Amino acid sequence: MFRKWAPTIIKYCLKNRTIISPQFNFRLLRKFISSKLLKTPLAIMVEPTCMCNIQCPLCTTPHKYMTRTQGIMEFDTYQKLLDDVKEFALIFYFNFAGEPFLNPHLFQMVKEAAKNDIFTMVDTNATLLTYARIQEILDSKLSILVVNIDYAKKESFEQFRKGANFHATMKGIKELCDLKKKKNGTFPLVVAETIVSRANEIHLNELYDFAMNTIGVDGVWFKPLCFPLHSKGFRENNEVEVLVDKYLPRTSSIKRYTYNEGHLQLDHYKNFCEWEYKSVILWDGRVAACCFDYDGNYTFGNIREASFLDIWNSPKYRYYREKLIKPKKLELCEFCSII
């Protein structure tokens, strides 16, 4: 995939002087050194909202069982965050427990991050890609837009993305890809994300062809399916055996689990967790532990009341990062499917 994108990225870098501009390099270098010396996080996950307009049955941040107050991040909260982290943050993921496009300021947020040389990524269910939104995307300097294309057929797509309309969603993605090409633009790179499950594992070549050639995306990422068993509500209302029979791929190697004699096992278990050097900012400004803490049960302060670095360096957050998050010892980690 990298080979496919490399010429485009190099072309963009040359066109935008991102490689040859000394000022740009210096700033990036400074950010990198700061992460090494001051141990600042490299990446920040920003939650534009925790609400969603559809109800995917296997959503990793299940709204049905969410007990925290739902809302949309205000621009002031975002601006405060950006001011606090712009000197060291390299990446902003606009994504977490909801549909980012529900935040009306999303692409203003992206634009401000891009002005500060922050690489930006938005994950979307792509159901809200109106013409006006497409124009905003193209003007925002967004680096990567991840759109969900799990199936090429209406019925299966609408079962997996319950509440989405297949034809309208694909039309929106295609319109974005076409307009971007018409403008001769490279960014955002539009990446189709396909979650590999039992129902699509034998159609991956067709899906790749559909996404690349019929819709016109720049790349396809096949993602291993995760069961949201870190959610107590989801665990109590779903039997693992039933989930396995319905969703776990039988033949594909793109999977997280093996199911053996009633036991679900992670295929590539890692002893450490990367959230020791990343951070999540919930829509209300609270700083949370990781992308599995969808209910905000482990939070360390609010960026509306304190500076991000004061929170990051607070004894409580440091203790959690070093003693509980890194070695995967939070209660939540027991059911986490990070590999």
Ligand X SMILES: C[S@@+](CC[C@H](N)C(=O)[O-])C[C@H]1O[C@@H](n2cnc3c(N)ncnc32)[C@H](O)[C@@H]1O
Q: Which residues bind ligand SF4 (CB under 6 A)?
A: 52, 54-56, 59, 61, 98-99, 125, 273, 275, 289-290, 292, 325, 328, 330, 332-333, 336, 338
Out of ligand X, ligand SF4, none, what residue 275 binds, judged by CB under 5 to 8 A for its kind, is ligand SF4
DSSP one-letter string for 43-111? EEEE-SBS--SS--TT-SS-GGG--SPP-B--HHHHHHHHHHHTTT--EEEE-SSS-GGGSTTHHHHHH
Beta carbons within 8 Å of 218's beta carbon, 6+ residues apart: 5, 8, 177, 189, 190, 191
Instruction: Give the containing element (helix H, strand E) for 279.
Output: strand 278-281
Q: What are phi and psi of 299, to 5 degrees?
A: -125, 155
* Choices 29-37, 118-126, 151-159, 234-242; region in contact with ligand X by CB under 6 A: 118-126
CB of 286 to ligand SF4, least distance (A): 16
* Choices 56-64, 83-91, 176-184, 296-304; region in contact with ligand X by CB under 6 A: 56-64
Out of ligand SF4, ligand X, none, what residue 332 binds, judged by CB under 5 to 8 A for its kind, is ligand SF4
Out of ligand SF4, ligand X, none, what residue 330 binds, judged by CB under 5 to 8 A for its kind, is ligand SF4
CB of 53 to ligand SF4, least distance (A): 7
Out of ligand X, ligand SF4, none, what residue 55 binds, judged by CB under 5 to 8 A for its kind, is ligand SF4
By CB under 6 A, name the one of 61, 120, 127, 186 that touches ligand X. 61
- Residues β-bridged to residue 124: 147
- Cα radius of gyration (the chain): 20
CB of 164 to ligand SF4, least distance (A): 8
CB of 259 to ligand X, least distance (A): 16
Out of ligand SF4, ligand X, none, what residue 290 binds, judged by CB under 5 to 8 A for its kind, is ligand SF4
193 belongs to the binding site for ligand X (CB under 6 A) = yes
CA distance 321 to 267: 25
Torsion sign across C-alpha atoms 106, 111, 116, 119: positive
Which has the closest alpha carbon to 51: 115, 128, 130, 118? Answer: 128
Which two three-digit tokens encode residue 23? 């000022």
40 belongs to the binding site for ligand X (CB under 6 A) = no
